[in-house]
Amino acid sequence: MFTPAPPSLDAIFAALADPTRRAILTMLLEDDMAVTDVAEPFDISLAAISKHLAILAEARLISQEKRGRVKWCKLEPDAMRAATIWIQGFGQFDPLDFDAFERFLAAELPEEG
Amino acid sequence: MFTPAPPSLDAIFAALADPTRRAILTMLLEDDMAVTDVAEPFDISLAAISKHLAILAEARLISQEKRGRVKWCKLEPDAMRAATIWIQGFGQFDPLDFDAFERFLAAELPEEG
DNA sequence: AAGATCGTCAACCGAAAGGTTGAATATGCC
DNA sequence: GGCATATTCAACCTTTCGGTTGACGATCTT
């Protein structure tokens, strides 16, 4: 198809809900990567990684371009921006207990590396 | 438990991945609501809504307080903020094709009301 | 006390998620 | 051509998800 359907918030948030996929996105922040290289640090099969990448691509969080036998994966920030925009539709949150928030982040973020 | 576990990004994004739950959050933006009133506009059973609310509460996107026989649901923006913070860890996205982005929003947002 | 209302629980269901393995399909290299 | 590499496909399995229904425990009302 020439004009593919826009990614849904369903697809975007669902894609982001999996820790493996979030880790993949973080890896792609560094550089574009081939599927095999994406798979390398994980303990799951290459086929499973391939599926994860398909889900990320479906949500348009990444794009995939095949050059030769290698399929390159590239971060596509637009979909993530769409997610934040939706969330920010919830308005200016009240200015808030930043200490508690920092503690929350300190506890949460190491989980992802 | 006195200090419940912090919500995981897994739970937050998974909670946001469902359109019914996003609609509920949007409703709660207006005002705190009782479970029955949350359920009213939807075509699914009260039990199903109750489960959705439990998932939102587990992710700490809402809190629930029982007063009398009524359980009040209240938006809790911290978890959403955590989600945006994670996403924004992806850095300053390149300034971008706003036309395309506007078109994307026009196509996507009506779905949620 | 009786009856209505609010909400959850428990058991069940079909579909989707996330994983596996083995075969298949391209492509690159000698 | 023949072999190795890169990736996906197909079939399968188990667990989770989103829904249903009916019974139940609380709580208000009369």
Find out whether B52 and B20 touch, Cβ atoms under 8 Å.
Answer: yes
pLDDT, position A3: 55
Euclidean distance between CA atoms B7 and A45, whole angstroms: 29
The torsion angle over the Cα atoms of residues B23, B113, A5 and A3, rounded to 10 degrees, is: -160
Q: What would the pLDDT profile of B33-83 be if each residue is shown by its tens digit? A: 999 999 999 999 999 999 999 999 999 999 999 999 999 999 998 888 889
3-state helix, strand, coil in chain B (%, to 5): 60, 10, 30
Euclidean distance between CA atoms A84 and A78, whole angstroms: 10
Residues 38-77 of B with CB under 7 A from strand C: 46-47, 50, 53-54, 64, 69-72
Put simply, whether A23 touches B (Cβ < 8 Å) is no
Q: Provide the residue ranges of all domains of chain A, joining segments of one domain with +.
A: 9-112
Amino acid making up residue B37:
D
- Give the number of beta-carbon pairs within 8 Å between A and B: 104
**Would the pLDDT of A102 be above 90?**
no
Euclidean distance between CA atoms B10 and A7, whole angstroms: 20
Q: Where are the alpha helices (DSSP H) in chain B?
A: 9-16, 19-30, 35-39, 46-58, 77-88, 98-108
Tokens of A5: 């359907």
Nearest nt to the CA of B19 via C1' is D18
Pick the CATH number of B9-112 from 1.20.120.530, 1.20.1630.10, 1.10.10.10, 2.60.40.10: 1.10.10.10
